[in-house]
């Protein structure tokens, strides 16, 4: 195929309405294909067949064809081509069956062609993000040989959920990105028409992704994008060669290779012991942080009278005290939540940014969570000075990204969106990984993932439990696919922690969204959420912009906690997912975490490693 511009590939080939779909490939290549179970889906094809004298399990995402979109009802289906939680449950069932077959003669082939995972309320209430995390973990650890192919469009965690395989191919004219280019342009440039600029940051083409080790084989595309026969011939050659190559490697070695590969994502300059030497800042953090949220207006008045919503409800503020109006932001912001009462700033800070009158909570940064969870003076920050410049090549850091990072200066006490360190919780030693929303919205980028990986390595070395705090808006789009792959890196880290027999406690703060909740945050041995925390893969604003109905109350922690109580009645659907085990207010979170740590430290089963004495 001649080499066109990336924008032309996107518009004229990747999104071509008559581009062959997964069903076309399956019908051409697998004559004895047998669908799996009774589940029928518009977006998932799952089944098995015989191929190259092997038993081949197939899971494939299916985009709609023009003939599927003829009626008004068809056009109203917003999640066409996006896998629902039901679909993800079926894939986990397929993988479970594949595990039970002869590993030497069983292969798995996944075909990726989707904008992303389904973001409807239906899937959100059924722990869609948890399913994505569970699938990535399963693909990392399954003891059979696996192959994947980006057929047309690969998007977000919906693609990543079935792409982490031993051999990873991509059609020459396919694109694989953290988000669709229109969404990227809308978020970064506030202009959905700037697709070319968005593509320059995303770098979703096969050659760029091969350089980043996201894929390892490029499948030639036919000159005519609609030529099913030529495309399937090329895929047949790719699949045959992949099976032949994988048959030469032991499964144990392949699983280890997946682990090694995951650790390297986003680290193009170097990693290893030499780069991990400088762990601590020079002195531990001894002071308590008592800083108000950056978007909170503080009122300084000798005397102040507020008229509440109820006539005659007068509130007199004490003289010479800093006051805040519950639920209000800086001057000019319209109050939409909270009780509106004037409360002393000190009372708000002492209650970890939660109104002592009504319970309305402001987002708490990492510094506040250190106060909330760790014994005063016990937190030693690890890898504080790790930066994007140390991990990514200069060419990967665009001017747009540098400008964005410059705007974050002064927003947080810390210089990245994840803060990791060793600490004590009621005298019990732990490792903490705390995301801070006030730096880049707590977004997951390469520094986030690398810090998390190193923190887990340190915990395994020292034989310590890990506590994570998720307060994130999603993947850092400025880093393109490297940011998305941090989901794989953090999940691989949790898997090693589990193999070491060390406990992992995941705390979900408000908000817990995007790639964070669809990776490490969903995999806690215990998952605790603060009241009112938004726990969802795609945020309400994104859902509304794509036409989905939204009821935020149903994807807040209390509602999902209630649903979690019903999981044990349907384990065949949820597999290893257990949802949210406990709801706990910030002021009681330290006590809540302590009871789980106490159970571990009093137990005779203290992990396989013998680290330092605690």
Q: What would the pLDDT profile of 494-551 be if each residue is shown by its tens digit?
A: 999 999 999 999 999 999 999 999 999 999 999 999 999 999 998 888 888 888 889 9
Contact 140, 491 (CB under 8 A): yes
CA distance to 183, 350, 515, per residue, from 180 (Å): 5, 42, 15
Residues 138 and 223 occupy one common structural domain: yes
Domain hosting 399: range is: 366-602
Residue 288 lies in a domain: no
pLDDT digits (tens, 9 = 90+) for 175-188: 999 888 888 888 88
Q: Assess whether 152 and 227 both reside in one domain.
A: yes
For the entire predicted model, the pTM comes to 0.89
d(CA 214, CA 386): 23
Is residue 218 assigned to a domain? yes
C-alpha to C-alpha distance for 63 and 117, rounded to whole angstroms: 12
Average pLDDT over residues 593-607: 83
Would you say residue 614 has pLDDT above 50? Answer: no
Query: Do 189 and 224 lie in a common domain?
Result: yes
Sign of CA dihedral 279, 282, 287, 290: negative
Instruction: Tell me if 280 is assigned to some domain.
Output: no
pLDDT at 372: 93
497 vs 4 pLDDT, higher one: 497
Note the pLDDT tens digit of each residue in 421-461: 999 999 999 999 999 998 898 999 999 999 999 999 999 99
- Are 196 and 230 contained in the same domain? yes
- Considering only residues 302 and 400, tell me which one the structure prediction assigns the higher pLDDT: 400
Compute the average pLDDT of residues 291-306: 51
Residue 331: exposed, middle, or buried by beta-carbon count in 10 A (0-12, 13-18, 19+)?
A: exposed
Per-residue pLDDT, 613: 46
Does the residue 275 lie in any domain? no
Do 151 and 103 fall into the same domain? yes
308 and 383 assigned to the same domain? no
CATH of the domain at 517: 3.90.226.10
Tally of domains in the chain: 3
pLDDT at 285 (0 to 100) = 59
Q: Which residue has the higher pLDDT, 203 or 111?
A: 111
Structure confidence at residue 376 (pLDDT): 92
* Higher per-residue pLDDT: 277 or 373: 373
**106 and 45 part of one domain:** yes
Q: How is residue 319 annotated by DSSP? A: T
Q: CB within 8 A of 603, min separation 6: which ones?
A: none
Tens-place pLDDT, residues 141-153: 999 999 999 999 9
Q: Pick from 264, 288, 309: which residue ends a domain?
A: 264
Mean pLDDT of 253-270: 89
pLDDT digits (tens, 9 = 90+) for 96-120: 999 999 999 999 999 999 988 999 9
Strands of the 342-344 sheet, one edge to the other: 299-301, 321-325, 342-344
The answer to whether residue 337 scores a pLDDT higher than 80 is: no
pLDDT at 593: 97
Give mean pLDDT, residues 53-57: 96
For the chain, give the percent of residues with pLDDT over 90. Answer: 62
Give yes or no: residues 206 and 324 share one domain. no
**Which of 237, 264, 291 is where one domain is finished?**
264
Q: Is residue 355 situated within a structural domain?
A: no
pLDDT in tens, 468-489: 999 998 889 899 999 999 999 9
Of 317, 350, 383, which residue is a domain's last? Answer: 350
Q: Is the pLDDT of residue 313 over 90?
A: no
For the chain, what is the radius of gyration of the CA atoms?
25
- pLDDT number for residue 78: 73
Same domain flag for 564 and 490:
yes
Q: Is residue 543 part of a domain?
A: yes
What pLDDT, on the 0 to 100 scale, is given for residue 356?
A: 84
Residue 289: inside a domain, yes or no? no
For residue 568, give every residue at least 6 positions away whose Cβ sits within 8 Å of its Cβ, in sequence order, or none: none
Local confidence band at 301 (pLDDT 50, 70, 90 cut-offs): very low
| 11/160 same-domain check | yes
Q: Is residue 527, in this structure, part of any structural domain at all?
A: yes
User: Are 596 and 526 within one domain?
Assistant: yes
Is the confidence at residue 330, as pLDDT, over 70?
Answer: no
Q: What is the pLDDT of residues 67-98, one digit of tens each?
A: 888 787 776 777 788 999 999 999 999 999 99
State the chain's mean pLDDT as an integer. Answer: 87
428 and 318 share a domain? Answer: no
Please compute the mean of the pLDDT values over residues 375-384 and round it to a whole number.
94
Helix (H, G, I), strand (E, B) or coil at 331: coil
**What percentage of the chain exceeds 70 in pLDDT?**
88
Among candidate residues 204, 206, 116, 111, the one with its CA nearest the CA of residue 149: 111
Summarised one tens digit per residue, pLDDT across range 129-175 is 999 999 999 999 999 999 999 999 998 889 999 999 999 999 999 99
């Amino acid at each position: 195929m001649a080499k066109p511009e990336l924008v032309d590939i996107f518009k004229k080939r990747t999104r071509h309405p008559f581009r062959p779909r997964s069903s076309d490939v399956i019908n051409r290549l697998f004559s004895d294909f047998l669908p799996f179970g009774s589940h029928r889906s518009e977006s998932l094809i799952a089944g098995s067949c015989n191929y190259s004298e092997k038993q081949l399990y197939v899971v494939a995402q299916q985009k709609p064809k023009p003939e599927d979109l003829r009626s008004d009802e068809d056009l109203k289906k917003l999640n066409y081509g996006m896998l629902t939680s039901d679909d993800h449950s079926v894939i986990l069932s397929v993988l479970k069956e594949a595990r039970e077959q002869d590993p030497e003669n069983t292969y798995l082939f996944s075909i990726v062609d989707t904008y992303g995972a389904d973001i409807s309320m239906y899937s959100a209430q059924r722990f869609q993000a948890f399913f994505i995390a569970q699938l990535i973990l399963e693909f990392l650890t399954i003891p059979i040989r696996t192959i994947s192919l980006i057929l047309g469009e690969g998007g977000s965690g919906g693609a990543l959920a079935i792409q982490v395989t031993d051999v990873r191919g991509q059609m020459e004219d396919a694109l694989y990105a953290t988000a669709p280019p229109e969404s990227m342009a809308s978020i970064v440039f506030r202009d959905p028409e700037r697709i070319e600029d968005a593509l320059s940051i995303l770098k979703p083409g096969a050659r760029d992704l091969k350089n980043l080790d996201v894929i390892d084989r490029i499948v030639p595309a036919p000159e005519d994008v609609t030529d099913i026969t030529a495309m399937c011939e090329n895929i047949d050659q790719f699949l045959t060669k992949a099976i032949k190559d994988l048959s030469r490697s032991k499964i144990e070695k392949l699983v280890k290779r997946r682990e090694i590969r995951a650790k390297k994502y986003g680290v193009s300059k170097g990693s290893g012991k030499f780069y991990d030497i400088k762990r601590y800042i020079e002195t531990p953090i001894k002071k308590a942080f008592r800083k108000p949220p950056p978007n909170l207006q503080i009122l300084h008045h000798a005397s102040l009278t507020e008229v509440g919503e109820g006539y005659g409800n007068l509130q007199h503020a004490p003289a010479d005290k800093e006051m805040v109006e519950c639920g209000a932001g800086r001057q000019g912001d319209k109050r939409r939540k909270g009780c509106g009462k004037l409360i002393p700033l000190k009372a708000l800070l002492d209650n970890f940014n939660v109104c002592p009158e009504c319970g309305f909570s402001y987002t708490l940064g990492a510094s506040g969570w250190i106060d909330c969870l760790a014994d005063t003076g016990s937190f030693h920050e690890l890898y504080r000075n790790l930066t994007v410049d140390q991990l990514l090549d200069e060419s990967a850091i665009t001017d747009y990204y540098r400008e964005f990072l410059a705007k974050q200066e002064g927003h947080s006490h810390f210089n990245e969106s994840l803060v990791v360190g060793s600490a004590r919780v009621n005298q019990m030693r732990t490792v903490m990984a705390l995301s801070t929303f006030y730096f880049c919205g707590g977004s997951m980028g390469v520094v986030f993932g690398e810090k998390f990986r190193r923190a887990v390595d340190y915990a395994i070395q020292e034989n310590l439990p890990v506590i994570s705090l998720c307060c994130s808006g999603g993947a850092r789009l400025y880093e393109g696919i490297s940011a998305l792959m941090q989901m794989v890196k953090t999940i691989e880290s949790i898997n090693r922690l589990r193999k070491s027999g060390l406990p992992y406690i995941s705390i979900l703060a408000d908000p817990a969204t995007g790639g964070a909740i669809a990776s490490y945050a969903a995999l806690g041995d215990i998952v605790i959420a603060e009241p009112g925390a938004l726990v969802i893969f795609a945020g309400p604003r994104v859902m509304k912009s794509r036409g989905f109905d939204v009821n935020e109350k149903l994807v807040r922690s209390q509602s999902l906690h209630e649903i979690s109580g019903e999981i044990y009645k349907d384990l065949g659907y949820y597999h290893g997912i257990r949802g949210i085990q406990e709801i706990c207010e910030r002021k009681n979170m330290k006590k809540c975490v302590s009871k789980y740590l106490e159970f571990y430290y009093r137990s005779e089963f203290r992990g396989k490693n013998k680290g330092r004495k605690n």
